[in-house]
A and B are shown apart, each in its own frame.
Chain A
Amino acid sequence: MIWDLVIDPFVAFGFMRRALVGCLAIALGGTPVGVFLVLRRMSLTGDAIAHAILPGAAVGYLVAGLSVGAMTVGGLVAGLTVGLLAGFVTRATVLREDASLAGFYLTSLALGVLLVSMRGGSVDLMHVLLGNVLALDDQAMVLLAGIATVTLVALAVAYRPLVVDSVDPEYLRTVSRTGARVHYLLLTLAVINLVAGFHALGTLMAVGIMIVPATAARFWHRDLAGILVMAVAIAVAASLTGLLLSFHFGLPSGPAIILCAGGAFVLSLAVGPHGSLLARRVHRRHLRA
């Protein structure tokens, strides 16, 4: 029974196996980046970058026609430009992350819409650019795996300064010059995970897998390492459950996966051990000291 429900779909169908591996890759690479974004109050970066990549995709389309590769590269350049510019403005001026990112991504989006309409856009560029977790070809798999590896290595290398920059950036500035670099690194990792995610999995899945498990994991652990591990675990579990729901009940796969993650989020915020609604209302009997 368990075999039929859970294991057999993956054994019988290659596209299910690929989908699972693809989800695993983005859970390993994107979700930890998402944890840092959430902790640094940059959770809406994902949506902003999703809109910001339009002019890059438009330029790619103008240059090379409906080539998904050219448009993805263009989108990557645009996303990196917007992300890094926003990061620079946050550090160098009075604006904070949310305002600087909003300023740049909206400008970028407007530029993209302009470029698209100049060419008589009866082609919906974003539709062409966005992928589907069930349609992962070899190229997309290699891209996802590569980016997951790069992300994990980068996070391991920059872990210390990233944590310090997130808690006490002033201090990092006095002892080292890596504060700004680490901020840009985080933005770069976010952008490449997002763009690869859009290309392979579509906007909803890419942003959702990055951010939603991170928000859920907050309620289970109080230390950073625990949150990271829990977030990845939730992402993998949501991917598995979502794919199975899509398989057995005919639900579209991307939304099913993110709904499972969302369900985990709601459950966590209701009854998680730390800081949830339940934890704040119901108190266990206190100790003597």
Chain B
Amino acid sequence: MRGDTAMAGPIEIENLTIGYDRHPAIHHVSLMIGRGSLTAVVGPNGAGKSTLLKGLVGRLRPMEGRIRFRGVGDDGIAYLPQQADIDRQFPLSVIDFVAMGLWRRIGLFGAVTRADRARVADALAAVGLSGFERRGIATLSGGQVQRMLFARTLLQDAGLILLDEPLTAIDTKTAADLLDLIRRWHGEQRTVVTVLHDLDQVRGHFPETVLLAREVIAHGATADVLTARNLLRARQMCEAFDDRAEVCDRSSDRPAA
């Protein structure tokens, strides 16, 4: 069962600042994401939600601060980016694409066993893409591509799953199915962090929330975080970079919850 390892602990984000050209996209973020938790990350546009996820995956190097994983994600990190930079024109079929999710298991040379093939079929069924096996990825709609990416993430069988706005281009029914899937992951003791825009979905399915507006406004149980006051504070974040801002000299301090 996951979470039984001696090193098990939360993901510790300490005073994390990630930015671009001296301007911080997120600054002085300190968080603890519990192992096996189901966390939503919400905030206005430009709040740095995707940046936070990219920092967790390791795609962006922090200007300050660090992240300690404490054993979380030892069995892989699955990351579903917001705008996947896929070459849709590449001659690949849906089933081959989704089968990429087996990489951690089979690597460069491992054979794809019958069990693996069954898993791929299951993943496709879970996202509602059965029958799409032989279709080329160029022929899929945006929503179908998103679901295909979801199926791949499913197959990755990772301990830490990071999803960046996974439900944007999807209809309500499939969104409900995918939220069930996310809940299933939570049930399997995986740590899931999801960026979402729809606060109703967050209130309905996610026990923990981080309200982010360049820095952490609030973090904790969803009901406590998504209060009107917190939301207003988040709304008042300034979205554009300020070229005349002074050099930041604050040491790490945790914002009021």
> Chain A 196-225, CB within 8 Å of chain B: the 1/0 string?
000000000000000000000010011110
Given A168-B86, A171-B100 in contact, is the A222-B108 Cβ separation under 8 Å?
no
Given A174-B77, A174-B79, A175-B76 in contact, is the A166-B103 Cβ separation under 8 Å?
no
Interface size class of B (residues with CB under 8 A): 20 to 34
Q: What are the residues of chain A within 8 A of B76 when measuring CB–CB?
A: 175
The minimal Cβ–Cβ distance linking A269 to chain B, given in whole angstroms, is: 15
Given A222-B91, A223-B91 in contact, is the A168-B108 Cβ separation under 8 Å?
no
On chain A, the number of residues with a Cβ less than 8 Å from chain B's Cβ atoms is 26
B91 lies within 8 A of A227 (CB) = yes
Choose among A158, A170, A227 the residue that contacts B85 (Cβ–Cβ < 8 A). Answer: A170
Q: What are the residues of chain A within 8 A of B152 when measuring CB–CB?
A: 171
Choose among A40, A160, A161, A223 the residue that contacts B93 (Cβ–Cβ < 8 A). Answer: A223
Interface secondary structure of A, over-half rule: helix
A222 to B94, CA, bound (A): 12
A170 lies within 8 A of B84 (CB) = yes
Q: What are the residues of chain A within 8 A of B77 when measuring CB–CB?
A: 174
Which residue on chain B has the smallest CB distance to residue A226? B91
Question: At the interface, yes or no: A12 with Cβ under 8 Å from chain B?
Answer: no
> Chain B 75-93, CB within 8 Å of chain A: the 1/0 string?
0111101001111001111
A163 to B97, CA, bound (A): 10
Q: What are the residues of chain A within 8 A of B136 when measuring CB–CB?
A: 222-223
> Chain A 159-186, CB within 8 Å of chain B: the 1/0 string?
0110110111111011110100000000
A175 lies within 8 A of B103 (CB) = yes
A64 to B85, CA, bound (A): 48
Question: At the interface, yes or no: B104 with Cβ under 8 Å from chain A?
Answer: yes
A174 lies within 8 A of B57 (CB) = yes
Question: At the interface, yes or no: A2 with Cβ under 8 Å from chain B?
Answer: no
A173 to B57, CA, bound (A): 10
Question: At the interface, yes or no: B59 with Cβ under 8 Å from chain A?
Answer: yes
A222 to B96, CA, bound (A): 13
User: What are 21 A-B pairs at a CB distance below 8 A?
Assistant: A39-B87, A39-B91, A157-B108, A166-B87, A167-B90, A167-B97, A168-B84, A168-B85, A168-B86, A168-B87, A170-B81, A170-B84, A171-B84, A174-B58, A174-B59, A174-B79, A178-B108, A218-B91, A223-B91, A224-B90, A226-B91
Q: Which residues of B are interface residues toward A (Cβ below 8 A)?
A: 57-59, 76-79, 81, 84-87, 90-93, 96-97, 100, 103-104, 107-109, 136-137, 152, 156
3 nearest CB pairs, A to B: A167-B90, A175-B103, A168-B86
Extra contacts besides A39-B87, A170-B59 (20): CB < 8 Å: A40-B87, A160-B108, A161-B108, A163-B96, A164-B100, A164-B103, A167-B92, A167-B137, A168-B84, A168-B87, A170-B81, A171-B84, A174-B79, A175-B103, A221-B91, A222-B136, A223-B93, A223-B136, A224-B91, A224-B92
